Amino acid sequence: MPQKYGHLANQVDDAQSFTCLVCGANPTGWTWGDLHGEGMCIRCGTPYQLLQYEKDQDGVDQRLDAPPKLNIKESWLPVLKRYWEETEAFTGLATIMMSRDYPECVEGKRKFDEWLDEHPDVIPG
């Protein structure tokens, strides 16, 4: 799948040697969504916050030196793992604004949603 904005998501220091929690790609590649600093695993489409900040004593945002942070609720992790094991399909779950810019995410979300319809028991309460 094509990477948005060149390959810049792969250049985030702390994301370069990260193992995806869903598909196990090591290291995984990244592509951006539209939310600042949010990238997706290029293999399975799981969203992570690659660029993270914390305010210093003056209230100015400072970049955190931190590994990618899962951008979905922890309770969905086993669901995404099972979906990956069964389908090996890209979900494209990052935040997007214009669907025309991310056809692979639209299709990934549609297929994932369809799968959830067939597996209502796995949806976290």
3-state secondary structure of 62: strand
Residue owning tokens 């004593």: 57
Please tell me what DSSP assigns to residue 94: S
Cβ at position 79, least distance to Zn ion in Å: 14
Cα distances from 27 to residues 81, 107, 123, in angstroms, run 17, 25, 28
Cβ at position 57, least distance to Zn ion in Å: 37
Task: Verify binding: residue 93, Zn ion, rule CB under 5 A.
Answer: no
- By CB under 5 A, the residues from 31 to 70 that bind Zn ion are 41, 43-44, 46
- By CB under 5 A, the residues from 7 to 36 that bind Zn ion are 20, 22-23, 25
Angle at 105 between CA 76 and CA 20, to 5 degrees: 50
* Closest CB to Zn ion among residues 12, 44: 44
Provide the binding-site residues for Zn ion, judged by CB under 5 A.
20, 22-23, 25, 41, 43-44, 46
